[in-house]
Amino acid sequence: MQIDKTNISEQNQQLLKKHQQRFDFINNETDDVEAVLQKLIEFQVAIPSWALGTGGTRFARFSGGGEPRNLEEKIEDIGLLHKLNQSSGAISLHIPWDIPRNTANIKALAAQHGLVFDAMNSNTFQDQSGQELSYKFGSMQHTDKAVRQQAIEHNIEVIRHGEALGSKSLTVWLSDGSCFPGQLNFRKAFQNTLDSLKQVYAALPQDWKMFVEYKAFEPNFYSTTVGDWGQSFLYASKLGEKAYTLVDLGHHLPNANIEQIVSLLLMEGKLGGFHFNDSKYGDDDLTVGSVKPYQLFLIFNELVEGMDARAMNHAGDLGWMIDASHNVKDPLEDLLQSVEAIMISYAQALIVDRKELSDAQQRNDVVAAQEVLQKAYRTDVRAIVAEARLRSGGVLNPLQVFRNLKVREHLIKERGTKTVATGL
């Protein structure tokens, strides 16, 4: 399925007049919209290769039809998203789910779709067929050195795949931990994990980063060896300057103040990457902004404030990625909604009156501080986000165009109804 320039301009034509009215209104109401537009145009959110199929629960998987059958088709799917929104210009691969059969061809295909390779993800949370040693009792924390060595070698192999593709970072998420009290010596598990991570770190190319992703629970339910941002920060600090903490929005205990975590990690120069999703209970992996959009805005508010305080480049200095799964929605529609939610929250954070907020904080004027934040949050910035898309060659309303052009129907025709994409 191809979406060409004619499709895009025909679709935009129908909405242009209305859009112009909306954009003119917000442009008059808001300071320096041009600067906001520039930042939105630059901002790209990577799409994970494992989120293009229907999947996600431990109990069942209901394939929606037309799922990508291989890495080439996954790249094509992300290419379609990027054509529509011009904000999904990167793909994040999970190995071994997505080992490229022919690296040069995969690289060329991605480039053809305007995509670059974001962080590479290793997998020592499952046993693969033919794998010599099991990860049942952990990987990098394992009591048996040989298991740890196998996990180290897998991560180094992932780095090598990434180097060939032009990726610049490795995300390590370990499900290591314990299910019952007494099962683990916490200190030994930490030290084994640190030693293993050190060996992977030593294999990083000079210009690479390592992201240490934490998660409070699941699949282990008593302890997790990289269980929270403090532990991740400890590993990252001990590893060195190329190691950072990665925040996945779904990986906290209920009601954790993620915006405060983000602020302090940025202060320490140790926030490296981000996995966006939303949740009500645990690691629900729901569409970004679908359950707690105000929290998303508050997180973006700290991201913008913290990045500006360190003169960081919003688009390039952190790894931005969606990490969601899709049980009942079309995965591509869901991803379009997620990217839109991210762009909206980012735009709202960009229009926060920083001077007024800081003055209110200094005076302890709690009411004024809340007003500043909520003024931005309650501003309808959708026309600014749409204008950014228009200027980058995308469509005004990605979801509507996806449906108008019958993208899913085309994919089903091309690939069939019974295809199942790799992932969880």
Site residues for Mn ion per CB under 5 A: 248, 275, 323
Instruction: State the binding partner of 208 from Mn ion, ligand PSV, none, CB within 5 to 8 A by kind.
Output: none
- Cα torsion for 278, 279, 282, 285, to the nearest 10°? -50
- Who contacts 284 (Cβ-Cβ below 8 Å, separation ≥6)? 250, 277, 278, 291
Q: Binder to ligand PSV among 248, 278, 302, 334 (CB under 6 A)?
A: 248
List the one residue from 49, 85, 86, 121 that touches ligand PSV (CB under 6 A). Answer: 121
**Residue 164, binding choice from Mn ion, ligand PSV, none, Cβ under 5 to 8 Å by partner class:** none
Distance of closest approach, residue 273 Cβ to ligand PSV, in angstroms = 10
To ligand PSV, the closest distance from the beta carbon of 308 in angstroms equals 27
> Is residue 192 close enough to count as binding ligand PSV by CB under 6 A?
no
> Which of ligand PSV, Mn ion, none lies near 121, with the C-beta cut-off 5 to 8 A by kind?
ligand PSV
What's the Rg (C-alpha) of the chain? Answer: 22
362: three-class secondary structure by DSSP:
helix
Q: Which of ligand PSV, Mn ion, none does residue 98 bind (CB under 5 to 8 Å by kind)?
A: none
One-character DSSP codes across 149-174: HHHHHHHHHHHHHHHHHT--EEEEE-
Nearer to ligand PSV (CB atom), residue 275 or residue 389? 275
Which run of H or E residues covers position 247? strand 243-248
In the complex, what is the shortest distance from the CB of residue 382 to Mn ion, in angstroms, rounded to a whole number? 27
Angle of CA points 137, 142, 147, to nearest 5°: 95
CA 188, chain centre distance (Å): 31
**CB of 121 vs Mn ion, minimal distance in Å:** 8
331: three-class secondary structure by DSSP: helix
310 secondary structure, DSSP code: T
Which helix (H) or strand (E) segment is 271 a member of? Answer: strand 271-276
> And the tokens for 77?
């799917």
Q: Is 43 in the site for ligand PSV (CB under 6 A)?
A: no
74 binds ligand PSV (CB under 6 A): no
Tokens representing 175 are 């499900």
Residue among 177, 173, 193 at smallest CA distance from 122: 173
Give the shortest CB-235-to-ligand PSV separation in angstroms: 16
**Which residue, judged by CB position, is nearest to ligand PSV in the bound state?**
173
Q: Which is nearer to ligand PSV, 33 or 91 (CB)?
A: 91
Q: How far apart are CA 337 and CA 280, in angstroms?
A: 18
* Encoded tokens for 85: 């929104």
| 67 sits near ligand PSV (criterion: CB under 6 A) | no
- The sign of the torsion formed by the CA atoms of 134, 93, 325, 212 equals positive
Binding mask 383-422 for ligand PSV (x = CB under 6 A): ----------------------------------------
Tokens of 31: 């300071």
Nearest approach in angstroms of CB 173 to Mn ion is: 6
How many amino acids of this chain bind ligand PSV (CB under 6 A)?
Answer: 10
Is 124 near ligand PSV (CB under 6 A)? no
Per CB under 6 A, 424 contacts ligand PSV: yes
Return the number of the residue (305 or 323) whose C-beta is nearest ligand PSV: 323
Binding at 77: pick from ligand PSV, Mn ion, none (beta carbon under 5-8 Å per type): none
Burial (CB count <10 Å: 0-12, 13-18, 19+), residue 411? buried
How far apart CA 98 and CA 137 sit, in angstroms, is 25
> What are the backbone dihedrals phi and psi of residue 190, each rounded to the nearest 5 degrees, phi first?
-65, -45
**According to the binding rule CB under 6 A, does residue 275 interact with ligand PSV?**
yes
Q: How near is the Cβ of 231 to ligand PSV at its closest, in Å?
A: 15
| Least CB distance to Mn ion at residue 95 (A) | 15
Nearest distance from C-beta of residue 413 to ligand PSV, angstroms: 29
Q: How far is the CB of 174 from ligand PSV (least distance, A)?
A: 9
Single residue of 76, 302, 323, 334 touching ligand PSV by CB under 6 A: 323
The answer to whether 154 contacts ligand PSV (rule: CB under 6 A) is no
Q: Which does 283 bind (CB under 5 to 8 A by kind): Mn ion, ligand PSV, none?
A: ligand PSV
Q: Which residue among 113, 215, 382, 408 contacts ligand PSV (CB under 6 A)? A: 215
- Do the Cβ atoms of 233 and 266 come closer than 8 Å? no
- Residue pair 174/190 in contact (Cβ under 8 Å)? The answer is no
**E runs forming strands in 86-179:** 90-94, 116-121, 169-173, 177-178
Specify the residue for token string 């994409």.
Answer: 421
Q: Which residues here bind ligand PSV, judged by CB under 6 A?
A: 50, 121, 173, 213, 215, 248, 275, 283, 323, 424
